[in-house]
Structure 1
Amino acid sequence: MRFLLFLLAVLLILGGAAAWRLAAFNQFAAIEPVTLARCQPVRGIAGPEDIEIDAKRRLAFISSLDRRADGARGAIHLFDLNDPLAETAWRDRTGGVPADFRPLGISYYEDGETRRLFVVNEAGPSIELYSVEEDGDLAHLETFAERRILSPNSVAAAGPRRFYVSNDLRPGRNSPLAGFHFLTASDLGEIFYVDGPQWSVVADKLRFANGLALSPDGSKLYAAESAAKRVKVFERNSANGKLTLAETIPLDAAPDNLSFDGQGALWVAALPKPLLLPRLKRNAEATAPSEVLRVAPDGAVSTVYRDGGEQQSAATVAARLGGKLLIGALYERKFLYCDLPAASE
């Protein structure tokens, strides 16, 4: 009898702990929509997980991969905001290099005539570096790989051969215990700084290290901690890449990719119910809610868009240029091209 009572107590404790963690990830919460007046779906691009803006030329680089298709090769597309109907948006810009290519996070860098695109390649795992040609095509320059990087997620360019990369879980997000690590918010994430051949860990103990973005002046690095539902802000030493934690921005959803606009506001694509994400790979009919947050230069956080998953399922990136907002998602076959209200511009 005592054993049965003990077993019951253990089960109750475990059940309570599980319910508490599920509640922490909004699993039981209702989704209150926040709409934008006009959002047009741009179809035909599989899995637009990340989007980077070339503001000068009004171009958007899009990381694309059909993650439900075994052995599929990904692509980098180029969407022209000056000519949204241009057929060239559906052409892969990488020239087929490398052959084994599963792109995730991307980062655009420009300094004078030097234009670069850094791409996280899950297939390596590695970071691929491309030169951006005048016509928008990508010429492969270099592959960066490091044995400690099992699960690269996002990249933030800091120079023509310098960058930060997040390693979301040291054991890898495809490891057998990855789901458990996320649910328990294990602090197994890291950020590496790479300067040519030199790799160094500049931040660790992150709870699923995800999106990265440098502030427009390059003085700070913003890092999404998906399992902790927050963004960490680090002061950055530009000479050696070292980071010092400056502040933490709490959120009500799990942040994914981050991007800055020309006015210094941070745009955050977030998952209100991140535990629904794994089922999207198994079931093309399944959906998960999406959210887009704007962090103003003064730190104020506002919700610009929230959807139950009907219009855009499980958004992973929001990138703004002027009065337009592009919203991409890991498992969709489209991204949204939205008009922003004047207050957000």
Structure 2
Amino acid sequence: MDRATELVPLHYVSLGAKGPEDVISDPQGRVLTGVADGRILRLHHPGDPRTARVEVLAETGGRPLGLELLPDGDLLVCDAERGLLRVSTAGDGAVRVLADSVAGEPLRFCSNAVALPDGSVYATVSSRRHPLDRWIADIVEHTGTGRLLRLGPDGGEPEVLLEGMQFANGLAASADGSFLVIAETGSCRLTRYGLSGPGAGRAEPFADLPGMPDNLWRAGPDGPIWVALASPRVPPLGLLHRTPPGVRRAAARAAVHAPYRPSGTTGVVAVDDRGRTVHRLTRRRSRFRMVTSVCVTGDHLVLGSLWERGVAVCALPADG
């Protein structure tokens, strides 16, 4: 699908806190997210601004990013400061650290995770060089220090499966569980990593995208993989990435101190298990900027953002 259709905004729900970076929905249609002050929030009735309300589930003590709902209702939380966590949603908000180091170094900038039926957990690390508050430096420098990790069913220290990724970010499993799809924000692409069969242990291109992908979300094996586009492609950035490392490092130092305002073009796409685009939705001059996540609840799309102080609720395509 080459032609984009309009992303139709319906309403905005304030959360009273900045940066709902990842949004996921639960079987009851509620939306869960983590915000900059370390809290995990649950939004009830997101489709109706008159009855929408926000509930605090837990506080991680760090900066929660990617979330994954587990079969028992608990949450896997990728915390940019504390590592990979398990958070209870039963009422006590208990937080347990599953992994805080990998290959002899602290697990920092853990970005997204997915749990498979065998009890194993896979997670991405966006950068080993720059922390979350300097994310733009990694995008500009193009460090290629992103990782894919695996934590076995019995826990322990994560295993490094894949290195050299350009800002490894969102993560989703194929319908049959035979491969993972990884968002590489810095390269505007999705990468496939084989878990079983002839392609096991091998990474290969899955889909090129019209922008920089962030979090991925999938309701189940029957649905597509939804991809949030945090920014359109930036052609000068692509040219910069071809320059020597010293030039990129200098540009990254300047970018960290330069004023930043996200693009007004908002976008999400949905792809199937062959990497084909089944939905491409965009909105220009959007007041809701830097879409870092998207999920479906009922007949709505809910958008999260590292930049905003709430979520945007949009219309789901008719065949969504």
Q: Residue 63 of structure 1 aligns to which amino acid in structure 2? A: G
2:150 to 180, 187, 193: 193
Matched, 1:52 2:12: no
Deviation at 1:144, TM superposition (A): 2.0
- Report what 1:43 is aligned to: 14
Deviation at 1:216, TM superposition (A): 4.0
2:65 to 87, 95, 104: 104
Task: Sort the Cα spacing of 1:342 and 1:179 in 2 relative to 1 into closer, same or farther, 3 A.
Answer: closer
Task: Sort the Cα spacing of 1:222 and 1:145 in 2 relative to 1 into closer, same or farther, 3 A.
Answer: same
Q: Residue 51 of structure 1 aligns to which amino acid in structure 2? A: V
Deviation at 1:255, TM superposition (A): 0.5
| Native 8 Å contact 2:13 2:52 kept in 1 | no
Deviation at 1:300, TM superposition (A): 2.1
1:116 to 46, 69, 74: 74
Task: Sort the Cα spacing of 1:82 and 1:253 in 2 relative to 1 into closer, same or farther, 3 A.
Answer: closer
Matched, 1:140 2:89: no
1:206 to 158, 165, 186: 165
**Unaligned 5+ residue runs, structure 1?**
1-31, 66-72
1:171 to 124, 129, 134: 129
1:325 to 298, 301, 305: 301
Inter-partner Cα distance in structure 2 for 1:333 and 1:309: 18
- Report what 1:221 is aligned to: 180
| Native 8 Å contact 1:210 1:225 kept in 2 | yes
Deviation at 1:312, TM superposition (A): 1.4
**Unaligned 5+ residue runs, structure 2?**
238-253
Deviations 1:56-115 (A, max 9, x none): 3222211222xxxxxxx2211112348745878423210x4x4x22111111121xxx22
Deviation at 1:188, TM superposition (A): 1.7
Inter-partner Cα distance in structure 1 for 2:293 and 2:257: 18
Matched, 1:342 2:318: yes
**Secondary structure in 2 matching 1:93:** strand
Task: Sort the Cα spacing of 1:273 and 1:132 in 2 relative to 1 into closer, same or farther, 3 A.
Answer: same
Deviation at 1:223, TM superposition (A): 0.4
TM-score (norm 1): 0.73
| Native 8 Å contact 1:122 1:152 kept in 2 | yes
| Native 8 Å contact 1:280 1:287 kept in 2 | no
Matched, 1:91 2:67: no
Task: Sort the Cα spacing of 1:333 and 1:130 in 2 relative to 1 into closer, same or farther, 3 A.
Answer: same
| Native 8 Å contact 1:168 1:188 kept in 2 | yes
Aligned sequence identity (%)? 22
Matched, 1:291 2:292: no
Task: Sort the Cα spacing of 1:43 and 1:156 in 2 relative to 1 into closer, same or farther, 3 A.
Answer: same
Task: Sort the Cα spacing of 1:89 and 1:82 in 2 relative to 1 into closer, same or farther, 3 A.
Answer: closer
TM-score (norm 2): 0.78
Bigger RCO of structures 1 and 2 (CA < 8 A, at least 6 apart): 2
**Secondary structure in 2 matching 1:183:** helix
Q: How many residue pairs were aligned?
A: 289
**Secondary structure in 2 matching 1:91:** strand
The structure that has the greater radius of gyration is 1
**Secondary structure in 1 matching 2:223:** coil
Inter-partner Cα distance in structure 1 for 2:312 and 2:47: 15
Matched, 1:253 2:203: no
Deviation at 1:292, TM superposition (A): 0.4
